[in-house]
Amino acid sequence: MTTPAVFLDRDGTLIEDAGFLRTVDQVQFFPQTFTALRRLRDAFALFIVTNQSGVAKGEITHEQAQTVNNFVVQRLREEGIDIRAVYCCPHERADGCDCIKPNPYFRNRAEREHQIDLARSFTVGDHPCDVELAAGVGASGIYVLTGHGAKHRDELQAPCLVVDDIGAAADAIAVAHAVALLREGGVVAIPTETVYGLGADAMNEAAVERVFRIKGRPTNHPLIVHLGEASQMSEWVREVPDLAATLAERFWPGPLTLILPKSSRVGDWVTGGQDSVGLRVPAHPLARKVLKEFGGGVAAPSANRFGQVSPTTAEHVRQDLGTDVDFIVDGGTCNIGIESTIVSLLSPEPVILRPGGVTQEEIEAALNRRVAVAHAAAVRAPGQLNSHYAPRAAVVLVAPHELEQQAAAMRAAGTKFRILNEADLAPEMLYSALRRADAEGATLILASPPTESGLGLAVADRLRKAAAPRPALE
């Protein structure tokens, strides 16, 4: 098994380039370095490749260069980031050594010694040499504008991506890796503004089947197909009704899913054998980048096991699915935090099948008519199964004025419980609050559902489903 790698330049890329560094107190990490590398550490072997010509020039000693390198590695380890190896060239160009960048000496050593898959690897740096290191091996070069990046930009020869800093470089690497995996039939967790999705190429039956297997979801429950552009909608449906065009125009990219009559290219493996397909153009910038670069449709349910609480951070996905998924694109915390609103346009009267991130009021205003919310079991939609979105703890819903009395009874009975307060019931907080209660070992969660208007409708809906009897899922 070979591993993809990221070859990181040190000065100007991970830390400020302040000339020849002699002591550790001169080391200053860029603010994005730690979070950027944490996003990559699971999928990539990380190497530092640094030219320290100051040694050859007699400006710094070997030991000083080494001390600084060791310190960088140690600080990164403290931040949870392991560096496989630091490769340091102490020569200057006039020495004609093999190891100075852009010579591939260290890169090839990594390939041999650490079983690196160079074709799927990346190099990141603020000097043209850093990205030229990538040329000729199928590894991609990413040029950062920090350090000397802005100054040397005009000298760039090799084709490469130019980004602001190491944070943007990590995003670009994650997107490129996700797209490559999707093309190969892999399964990738992708951040959206609602919740994380568990994505596969919608046209690839085997890949989509794997999504169902990982999720533990019955195959007759359809998946949403995610698209990079609203203009792709026509490829997936038999026709685009006016109402669909209106809603897409108004709410895409965004937390809205449209159910429409499917076109013949949409496989049964996505729709669960139904004649309709759910489509959505998500707004999260990384989701959009993945989808646009991929070009096709990505079938994705929420990236949790069937029936459980949807993930709103990459860490949630990691906890739920671990290594079952080929890669997690870490896009931070989902800002809406609750799933998309699903609107069926299969009959002349649009119906909301699942309340979500776009409110009923907004949809009614956009269409200039009343739009009803369907009652459970009208359509085959897991969000409509009674018990869903459920934490391990039992969820008990009570009226606001009963909260205190119920809590007192729990305390008296010695039950470990948690009350969801108003902040926990904000849509973007709900799922992490349910997860926190589980993590704290609560056996019972008490909540008083919010008023069912605006986003409160979706929150109340999820609470009701979390509180519903669960036998079917045990």
Binding site for ligand TXA (CB under 6 A): 192, 194-195, 197, 221-224, 255, 257, 259, 271, 274, 276-278, 280, 282, 300-302, 339-340, 342, 353-354, 379, 381-383
Q: Which is nearer to ligand TXA, 116 or 381 (CB)?
A: 381
Binding residues with Mg ion: total (CB under 5 A):
5
Count how many Cα atoms sit within 13 Å of the Cα of residue 26 in the half-sphere of its side chain.
13
Residue 217 token pair: 């979801």
Q: At closest approach, how far in Å is the CB of 170 from ligand TXA?
A: 22
Chosen residue from 11, 201, 326, 339 binding Mg ion by CB under 5 A: 11
Counting contacts by CB under 5 A, is residue 330 touching Mg ion?
no
Q: Which is nearer to ligand TXA, 280 or 316 (CB)?
A: 280
Chosen residue from 47, 72, 81, 126 binding Mg ion by CB under 5 A: 126
Which entry of ligand TXA, Mg ion, none binds 432, CB below 5 to 8 A by partner kind?
Answer: none
Q: How far is CA 122 from CA 2, 127, 253, 278, 419, in A?
A: 14, 14, 30, 35, 47
Give CA–CA dist 72/80, Å, rounded: 13
Q: At closest approach, how far in Å is the CB of 414 from Mg ion?
A: 60
Residue 147 token pair: 């350090």
Which entry of Mg ion, ligand TXA, none binds 331, CB below 5 to 8 A by partner kind?
Answer: none
Q: At closest approach, how far in Å is the CB of 153 from Mg ion?
A: 13
Q: At closest approach, how far in Å is the CB of 471 from ligand TXA?
A: 20
Q: At closest approach, how far in Å is the CB of 201 from ligand TXA?
A: 15
Q: At closest approach, how far in Å is the CB of 169 from Mg ion?
A: 13
Q: Which residue is nearest to Mg ion (CB)?
A: 12
Counting contacts by CB under 5 A, is residue 149 touching Mg ion?
no
Burial of 25 (0-12, 13-18, 19+ CB in 10 A): exposed
Chosen residue from 4, 12, 54, 282 binding Mg ion by CB under 5 A: 12
CA angle, 445 then 301 then 359, to 5°: 65
Q: At closest approach, how far in Å is the CB of 173 from ligand TXA?
A: 22
Which entry of Mg ion, ligand TXA, none binds 9, CB below 5 to 8 A by partner kind?
Answer: Mg ion
Q: At closest approach, how far in Å is the CB of 320 from ligand TXA?
A: 13
Counting contacts by CB under 5 A, is residue 165 touching Mg ion?
no
Contact range with Mg ion by CB under 5 A, out of 109-117, 146-154, 223-231, 259-267: 146-154
Contact range with Mg ion by CB under 5 A, out of 10-18, 198-206, 289-297, 327-335: 10-18
Q: Which residues bind Mg ion (CB under 5 A)?
A: 9, 11-12, 126, 147
